[in-house]
Amino acid sequence: MIRNIIFDFGGVLLDIDMKRTYDILAKQLKQSMTFPDIPDELREVVVAFETGNMSVENFIWNIQNMCPDPKPQGYDVITAWNAMLIGWNTEKFNFLKQLRHHYQTYILSNTNQLHIEWVRRDLLKNHGIEDFENTYFDKVYYSFEIGKHKPSNDIYQYVLDDAGLSAEETLFIDDSLINVQSAAGLGIHVYHHDPGKDLMETFDKNGWLLYGK
């Protein structure tokens, strides 16, 4: 029986379009990039930022340093980086509240300080939600706060250990195939979510709302 659900964030709960960011960065870098294939140098900077090993200031500086003259302003780098963040299907807010009557719920996300700051501003300004994490989840695990990054196996084990979860009673939902494959290797139940599909319909079709604790 599934008692715990771990959600990826972007592409599952939050609507995103990563291509928007990489299209703008390609213009700033004056490099040809076909998403999701990006230069190794940029990928290393992103992973460092998303594991908390690079400050916002250093992230911006590194992006600027990769760009030919005239280099983008810091604001332009932030705007490009946040361009992937689209917004919410607001029906998911009530859906997540309902889930907490049936399951323990969590977020596990490869993310960073700039994106989480944007999310919190957007939730407060446009939806009146002040404490998203504690309102809708038992706990959240952001990669830049815990220093681990999907799809490394140790990030899933960290969540299981920290939250005291049994892999056999846990479902992990992510829009990345490599991430769900990695989690499955630890015995966690997984679902590879298509961002183009309705997450709430998926729950209904699978009976997950009915068969929680």
CATH number of the domain where residue 105 is located? 3.40.50.1000
Q: How many CB atoms lie within 10 A of CB 86?
A: 11
Across 3-17, 21-35, 138-152, 176-190, least confident range: 21-35
Q: What is the pLDDT of residue 75?
A: 97
Q: What is the pLDDT of residue 106?
A: 98
68 lies in the same domain as 104: no
Q: Please, are residues 150 and 182 in contact by the beta-carbon 8 Å criterion? A: yes
Across 23-27, 35-39, 166-170, 185-189, least confident range: 35-39
191 lies in the same domain as 108: yes
pTM, entire model? 0.94
29 lies in the same domain as 45: yes
Q: Is residue 64 part of a domain?
A: yes
For residue range 159-211, list pLDDT tens digits in order: 999 999 999 999 999 999 999 999 999 999 999 999 999 999 988 888 776 55
Nearest to 204 by CA among 98, 129, 115: 98
Q: How far is CA 183 from CA 23, 94, 110, 152, 161, in A?
A: 30, 27, 14, 9, 14
For residue range 106-147, list pLDDT tens digits in order: 999 999 999 999 999 999 999 999 999 999 999 999 999 999
Question: Is the pLDDT score of 35 beyond 80?
Answer: no
165 lies in the same domain as 116: yes
Out of 58, 82, 106, pick the residue that ends a domain.
Answer: 82
Question: Is the pLDDT score of 39 beyond 90?
Answer: no
Q: What is the pLDDT of residue 200?
A: 92
Q: What is the pLDDT of residue 198?
A: 93
Structural domain harbouring 57 = 18-82
Q: What is the pLDDT of residue 213?
A: 42
Out of 28, 49, 82, pick the residue that ends a domain.
Answer: 82
For residue range 60-72, list pLDDT tens digits in order: 999 999 999 999 9
Out of 82, 104, 123, pick the residue that ends a domain.
Answer: 82
Question: Is the pLDDT score of 54 beyond 90?
Answer: yes
Over range 151-162, report the average pLDDT.
97
Number of domains, the chain: 2
Q: Is residue 211 part of a domain?
A: no
d(CA 23, CA 68): 16
Q: What is the pLDDT of residue 1?
A: 87
Tokens of 112: 């960073």
